Amino acid sequence: MADREELLTNRLSKLRYELSEEEIRSLAERTEGFTIPEIQKIIEESLKELMAKDQELEKETKKKSELPIELRTKLFESFQKHISGTTRSVSNDDIAAFVKYFEDFGTP
């Protein structure tokens, strides 16, 4: 999960967006089993949707400051919507099998 948290945090900060640690953690938990390209697509779709709906967000992207709370809330909600609409590539059974393998044989 820490890898997904880092991916979300880094990708959003490069785009000058910030979500709270709790919001990032929640999104990371919900994206278990998603590949990096799937998570990046969710990020892109969420931002595109939000920018299309809210001109204020476009203005805020040009600033290096934190997003206003109402825009952060909209961004977080957009992420949740796009996560729900995306099918993960890796099932819980696959994840459990990988974990067991690494416990039994170690990591490469």
Q: What is the pLDDT of residues 37-95, one digit of tens each?
A: 898 899 888 888 877 766 665 565 555 455 666 777 888 888 888 888 888 788 878 87
Domain 2-105 top-level CATH class: mainly alpha
Q: Which two tokens stand for residue 46?
A: 């969420």
Of 19, 89, 87, residue with least CA distance to 47: 19
Query: Is residue 16's pLDDT more than 60?
Result: yes
Distance, in Å, from the CA atom of 84 to the CA atom of 37, rounded to the nearest integer, reads 16
Q: Which residue has the higher pLDDT, 14 or 20?
A: 20
Domain locations in the chain as residue ranges? 2-105
Q: Return the pLDDT at 64.
A: 47
pTM score of the predicted model: 0.65
Those residues whose C-beta lies under 8 Å from the C-beta of residue 86, and which sit 6 or more positions away, are: 34, 38, 41, 42
